């Protein structure tokens, strides 16, 4: 039986090989794509194993679950919040995370800004866009994106650095391509508006099943959990709060 740290390191290597191949197809370099290992439901031992294997960016979906892990692992890696954030969790999120990828309303941005001002820091954020139009998903509708940006751009303590989406979850990854293509198009549109203080540095899209398609469409952040850690249904429930 392969020891767990070796299995995770091998999975990480394979994911990076797939990222490299997709980046080459898109005429880009692997260095242009930031890999975030999503550790929802993953215990501290596995997180430490993936850090030892060289991963420098980790993503969490829930503030409460993240707190114990970040306290145990430390902040020598970059922590991304990649799950929906409620306004009443903004204070904890600001203290825990280095970047929040899921800002989907002016109200939430205001809550983050208030806590950032109190903490004397600036939080890089991505605006989450609902590119699939599915009611079950969070995110700004494309037609409302400019209004949200105008409401967020001058908030103290907030630095808008790009867009994020969760594409539809089809059996065929190709079916998610239109969602990723739309997000890339929206980023170009935002850039054309020339809004001061708003960057389109990052396009966060693509997960284990479809990150290669996302990279082909312009993603430079991909969020991979199962591809690195294995199916969560087969993992022990240690570390889940």
pLDDT in tens, the chain (241 residues): 678 999 999 999 999 999 999 999 999 999 999 999 999 999 999 999 999 999 999 999 999 999 999 999 999 999 999 999 999 999 999 999 999 999 999 999 999 999 999 999 999 999 999 999 988 899 999 999 999 999 999 999 999 999 999 988 877 999 999 999 999 999 999 999 999 999 999 999 999 999 999 999 999 999 999 999 998 754 433 222 2
Tell me if 52 is assigned to some domain: yes
Give this prediction's pTM.
0.94
Q: Looking at the 3D structure of the chain, how many domains does it have? A: 1
Tell me if 148 is assigned to some domain: yes
User: Which DSSP symbol is given to 173?
Assistant: G
Tell me if 234 is assigned to some domain: no
Tell me if 127 is assigned to some domain: yes
Q: Judge contact between 206 and 167, C-beta under 8 A.
A: yes
Tell me if 190 is assigned to some domain: yes
The tokens of 48 are what?
A: 């430490």
| Residue range(s) defining the domain that contains residue 182 | 4-228
Tell me if 239 is assigned to some domain: no
Number of H helices, E strands in the chain: 9, 8
Tell me if 238 is assigned to some domain: no
Tell me if 237 is assigned to some domain: no
Question: Residue 150's domain is classified under what CATH number?
Answer: 3.20.20.10
Instruction: Report d(CA 82, CA 165) in Å as an integer.
Output: 10
């Amino acid at each position: 039986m392969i020891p767990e740290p070796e299995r995770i390191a091998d999975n990480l290597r394979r994911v990076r090989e797939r990222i490299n191949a997709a980046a080459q197809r898109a005429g880009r370099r692997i260095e242009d794509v930031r890999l975030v290992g999503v550790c929802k439901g993953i215990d501290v031992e596995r997180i430490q194993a993936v850090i030892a294997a060289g991963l420098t960016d980790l993503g969490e979906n829930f503030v409460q679950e993240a707190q114990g892990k970040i306290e145990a692992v430390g902040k020598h890696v970059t922590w991304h919040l990649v799950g929906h954030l409620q306004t009443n969790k903004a204070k904890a999120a600001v203290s825990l995370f280095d970047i929040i990828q899921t800002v989907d309303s002016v109200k939430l941005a205001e809550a983050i800004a208030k806590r950032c001002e109190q903490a004397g820091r600036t939080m890089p954020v991505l605006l989450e866009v609902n590119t699939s139009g599915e009611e079950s998903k969070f995110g700004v509708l494309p037609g409302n994106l400019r209004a949200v940006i105008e409401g967020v751009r001058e908030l103290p303590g907030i630095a808008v650095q790009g867009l994020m989406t969760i594409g539809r979850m089809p059996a065929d990854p190709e079916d998610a391509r239109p969602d990723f293509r739309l997000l890339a198009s929206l980023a170009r549109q935002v850039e054309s508006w020339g809004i001061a203080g708003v960057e389109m540095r990052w396009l966060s899209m693509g997960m284990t099943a479809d990150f290669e398609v996302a990279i082909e469409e312009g993603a430079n952040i991909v969020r991979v959990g199962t591809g690195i850690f294995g199916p969560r249904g087969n993992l022990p429930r240690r570390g889940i709060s």
